[in-house]
Amino acid sequence: MKTDKRYEKRKEMLPLVAKAFACLGYRRATTSAIANECGVKEAILYRLWEDKKAMFVASVKYLTDNILEIWERQISKTLQENKPLEVLFDYESTHFAELGHYMIIFSGLNEVDEPDIKKVLQEMYNRIHRYLVDMILSYYGNNKQDVTDFAESTAWRLIGIGTMITIGKHLELFGDSMREKMLDKNILNL
């Protein structure tokens, strides 16, 4: 039926739409630029999503899934030898910002007066935060209240540090060695 086909098509296009947003940000990713990236005409995109905002919302969701999947895969790959949190630190300290998923967030933050966009960004941050919290808790193997508090604030801090690493890379503020120092495991009092 109609909806089935649309669903398929959306699934096929979404990575490309998301890529356009991730490279250009919300405003600069004009509908024509997105269509170009997808190798189709604008009218086709508008048959798959109601408007540009809907394309953006779908892209944020997609990229969130994407990041968590990559982390998950990376962790399970080396689960035998290392603790998850350490794997994540090692991975991110070298790969952070490689995917270029960040522009979409910064540009989205400028559009928060659109409720849909605000909501999807909240969901994204909360999902990533929850994932990190769980990992920190399992690292310490403890669920007492004060540890939970520590895990939650630490998780937010880690996301912040990651953001700064991203900005630093984007603006060429510092090099690889600084990036590694910023994500040194010592900052967790390990």
* Radius of gyration for the chain, computed over Cα atoms and rounded to the nearest angstrom: 18
CB 88 within 8 A of CB 71: yes
Q: How far is the CB of 18 from DNA (least distance, A)?
A: 16
> What does the alpha-carbon distance between residue 135 and residue 123 come to, in Å, rounded to a whole number?
18
User: In 3-state terms, what secondary structure has residue 104?
Assistant: helix
Q: Which of 14, 103, 136, 137 binds a copy of itself (CB under 8 A)?
A: 103
First-to-last alpha carbon distance for the chain, in angstroms, is 55
83: left (phi over 0), alpha (psi -120 to 50) or beta: beta
Q: Does 32 bind DNA (CB under 7 A)?
A: yes
Q: Which does 110 bind (CB under 5 to 8 A by kind): DNA, a copy of itself, none?
A: a copy of itself
Residue 6 or 181 with smaller CB distance to DNA: 6
Total residues contacting DNA by CB under 7 A comes to: 21
The token pair that represents 177 in the structure block: 């060695």
Q: Which of 23, 46, 129, 168 binds DNA (CB under 7 A)?
A: 46
The token pair that represents 127 in the structure block: 């999902």
Q: Does 43 bind DNA (CB under 7 A)?
A: yes
Q: Does 12 bind DNA (CB under 7 A)?
A: no
- Give contact residues for a copy of itself (rule: CB under 8 A): 24-25, 27-28, 103, 106-107, 109-110, 112, 118, 121-122, 125-126, 129, 149, 152-153, 156-157, 159-165, 167-168, 170-174, 178, 181-182, 184, 187, 189
